[in-house]
Structure 1
Amino acid sequence: MLRKIPIFIANTVVVLTILCAFGWVVRETTKGKQWVPHRVSRSITFFTTLPDRLMVAKAAVERLPLVYVPSPENFEPVNELEQDVKVLLSYANANWKRTIAIKNLRTNKELKTWSVDRLANPHNRIMHSLMLPDSSLIYSLNGVTGLIKIDKNSERLWKQDSIAHHHAINIGADNTFWANTYGKDNGEHIYYGARFNIDGREFPFIDNTITQFDAESGRILFHKSVTEILIENDLTHLLIKSDSPGDPLHINDIQPVLQDGPKMKKGDVFISSRTSSWIMHFRPSTGKMIELIEGPFMSQHDVDIESDSTIIFFNNGGQTLKGERPSQHRLADNLIEVAPQFSGIVRYHLGIGKFEHIYPELFAENEIFSFTESLVEELSGGGYFIEEQNSSVLWVLKDGEVKYKNILNSQHEGHHHLANWGRVMP
């Protein structure tokens, strides 16, 4: 028995020595000491971060897919609609399946549905689906696939995967449609496809393209780099003014003109850039910019043609990039307070530079704000459908009042469906 005590002490000393040595190497590794061999450093990092990675993996398994949004506490819906408001929208009915539906907001009834299943990723979104007169649909899994067309029974008709789609799809003239796209490079769609230089500093950035398709076959009819449009129209300063140098374009909408008017021609398009906060009236037939629209709006989305001389759009009204609260200096004893900023609807009169803000008091009173995405559509019976995308709350504003406010309830308690750019239907 007495002989075992020295052996126990000796073993304890050896173990403590090894632990101390290991701990010291770990400390030196975290300090970035160069004398630690790379393979040793990598092995130690892998071993010591294993618990963290297990916790991250556990959280990922338990977390709902990103197509669900936490619902506001004590949410109170409003439905004072007197006329039907039918919206084409999409939602997840299971991790690997999506439903596209025409829903009547007034009655809360679904009028028609399509199904998309066998998705590869539970986070995939179907955004801004486009229904054609024969009830066929054009859609994409945003930023993942090309464009896909299905018939009224959800059977696939074609897939156009030479490009990648993102954000909006809009009907064009003569059985065509337009979409925001990325060209593909070695199978990838997010890559630096262009660059500019300032004072010897190189800034590679993501190029965007605009594309017109034949709606019957999916064949590409027109395809153009937005960077090339800026170069050809002497507008490259727009790249430099963005506070997102790696993504200074971020085109989020292309709205085609369907008939001639005093301020526009059939075949023209309006292009919206989020990260540089501009809208361009562009004529593809000549390659010329007709009008560049900048003004009292920021990070806007969803340009719509309201009349032959006006457009409306959703003004997100926030910074392009979320900045941290400045803390370098102390606060003054007497601060000048600026009113809180909210999103809004903006009307622009083409050619004369006049802007109007629609229902700003309703946006402020209801604190309607979305840092990214969102849309507005004017309703045929008057008023506006609003998708406040980040919170995924749907609104109808009319006659200075909130006529509708609701969320898309999901099968998961405490969460509702993420809004995916609904489209008002006739």
Structure 2
Amino acid sequence: MKKILTYLNIFVVLISLLCLYSFSIIHIERGGTRFGSLTEPIKSFYEFPKLAYAVLRSNELWGNPLDFKPRDPNFISKNELTYDVFSLHGSFDNKNSLWEIRLFNLKDDSVHYEWQVGQEHFDYEGNPIEFFNTDLKNIVLLPNRSIVFRFNKTNNVVRLDRDSKLVWRVYDRFHHHSINQDHNNNLWIGSRTQRPFKSADGRTYYYREDQLSLYDFSTGERIFNKSLSEMFQENGMDHIIYGHSNHINSYDQPDPFHLNDIQPLLTDGEFWKKGDIFLSLRHRSMILLYRPATNKILRVVQGPFINQHDVDILSDNKISLFNNNATGIGSKRQMSEYGTPDKLQDSFNSSDVLIYDLMDSTYSNSFKKFFDLEKIYTRTNGLHQFLSNGDLFVESFEEGKIFILNENEIVFKKQLDTSQEDMIYLPHWMQLYEDINF
């Protein structure tokens, strides 16, 4: 009997410790600090299995760039292009330990120009990633065969001349997503800091503060900077900052905006002036028209799109956007306390590209059938570009595939090859050029 009581006591103690451990995880994940100096060690302990799993699967461990992905063996390439269309793509040269950027023709894969990016172009300070493990994102062709790009998941934005020599480098803050030229050739780039606020419980919390940064084309000097929080507050829209969440007590949503595109207006139009910018905020499923010159939000666009990327200008009254059609709500666990689940109503099977008319606030989409047919779907990133003949270029990031299609057929589809036969590159926010004047 004494042995049974001993085992029972041990069992009760173990169950109690397990309950305490479970409570500590929930408490810390919701931003609690009751465990004082033990908070961080406890968090490191329960996150270790996830970290170990991520390390074992990481491209860094295997010596590959971040955006390597296993090739889809069932994917069938197609190339029926009858016209020239050029793009820029970076690949890592293991032999020479440098990145090569190629300007190539999608029609025949011919290379028209090359740049080399060495470690001397990369600043390591404050960057958590190695030169050979990053990748080159959003490479933009500038006048005189100069280029600008950013090293992914680092602070580095770099401009090189036609001979691959450094013109300037900016690395004083974290930069992300798109790079776009305005009417003066200056460069709009999203940047990020962190912003604190004090809650009613007296604690200080932090979130990612996206900023609109404009850099001088010639020198790399930052000539304009505006935080999104300040922009919303000064336009009487504080609710956009703090009023959207999935759980009010979690404090685990540190990325309220997720700015992913700053698209400048190059000419005057009926609804905008030259120098205005369109902004794409993924985590608000929102497009904004903003005038930096007067600090005024001119238009807020929300509609039949979810967690979108990449807004483009089509005409004086129309814009287009890449609708990821991806959601982050929901639970894998059925909630039995609410009874039997309702009949399945919604499903998310493909992304698409929408055209929005500012004249009458209507949407149209002529390409959805091809997105469904090819199952073009990416939850993150995603890019599109209309060509002068009306064809549509699509970059499906997570799949590692690019397409060109029109309203009748798909004329081009491809995976980006690497030096490893069974691996491909994920596309890097590719911009297309129809006339390079080389």
TM-score (norm 1): 0.81
**Counterpart Cα distance in 1 of 2:255 and 2:151:** 21
Match in the other structure for 1:380:
388
Deviation at 1:401, TM superposition (A): 1.1
Deviation at 1:276, TM superposition (A): 1.1
1:90 aligned onto 2:95: no
Going from structure 1 to structure 2, the CA distance change for 1:363 and 1:204 (only over 3 Å counts) comes to same
Gaps of 5+ in 2: 1-10, 22-36, 123-129, 247-251
Contact 2:367/2:407 (<8 A) preserved: no
Deviation at 1:123, TM superposition (A): 2.3
Match in the other structure for 1:139:
149
Deviation at 1:356, TM superposition (A): 1.3
**Counterpart Cα distance in 2 of 1:54 and 1:81:** 42
**Counterpart Cα distance in 2 of 1:413 and 1:331:** 50
Going from structure 1 to structure 2, the CA distance change for 1:199 and 1:29 (only over 3 Å counts) comes to closer
Matches for 1:13-412 after TM superposition, within 5 Å: 61-62=61-62, 64-94=64-94, 96-118=97-119, 120-183=130-193, 192-195=194-197, 197=199, 203-239=205-241, 240-243=243-246, 245-319=253-327, 321=328, 323-329=330-336, 335-338=343-346, 340-412=348-420
Contact 2:181/2:188 (<8 A) preserved: yes
Matched letter for residue 234 of structure 1: G
Going from structure 1 to structure 2, the CA distance change for 1:328 and 1:347 (only over 3 Å counts) comes to same
What is the aligned residue count?
A: 384
Deviation at 1:56, TM superposition (A): 5.6
Alignment RMSD (CA, Å): 3.4
Going from structure 1 to structure 2, the CA distance change for 1:135 and 1:325 (only over 3 Å counts) comes to same
Q: Percentage identity across aligned positions?
A: 27
Going from structure 1 to structure 2, the CA distance change for 1:278 and 1:198 (only over 3 Å counts) comes to farther
Going from structure 1 to structure 2, the CA distance change for 1:256 and 1:54 (only over 3 Å counts) comes to closer
Deviation at 1:402, TM superposition (A): 0.8
**Counterpart Cα distance in 2 of 1:259 and 1:58:** 47
Going from structure 1 to structure 2, the CA distance change for 1:89 and 1:54 (only over 3 Å counts) comes to closer
Contact 2:185/2:217 (<8 A) preserved: yes
Q: Give SS of 2:412's match.
A: strand
Deviation at 1:286, TM superposition (A): 0.4
Deviation at 1:193, TM superposition (A): 1.2
Match in the other structure for 2:4:
none
Deviation at 1:70, TM superposition (A): 0.8
Contact 1:129/1:138 (<8 A) preserved: yes
- CA offsets per residue over residues 343-396 of structure 1, 9 Å max, x none? 000111125321112311111111110000010000112211100011110000
Q: Give SS of 1:327's match.
A: coil
Gaps of 5+ in 1: 1-23, 184-191
User: Which structure is larger by alpha-carbon Rg, 1 or 2?
Assistant: 1
Matched letter for residue 124 of structure 1: T
**Counterpart Cα distance in 1 of 2:353 and 2:56:** 42
**Counterpart Cα distance in 2 of 1:272 and 1:334:** 34
Q: Give SS of 1:207's match.
A: strand
**Counterpart Cα distance in 2 of 1:67 and 1:170:** 22
**Counterpart Cα distance in 2 of 1:376 and 1:141:** 21
**Counterpart Cα distance in 1 of 2:54 and 2:117:** 33
Q: Give SS of 2:284's match.
A: coil
Matched letter for residue 195 of structure 1: F
TM-score (norm 2): 0.79
- CA offsets per residue over residues 305-349 of structure 1, 9 Å max, x none? 111111101000001x37542422399698345454310001111
Match in the other structure for 1:19:
none
Contact 2:267/2:273 (<8 A) preserved: yes
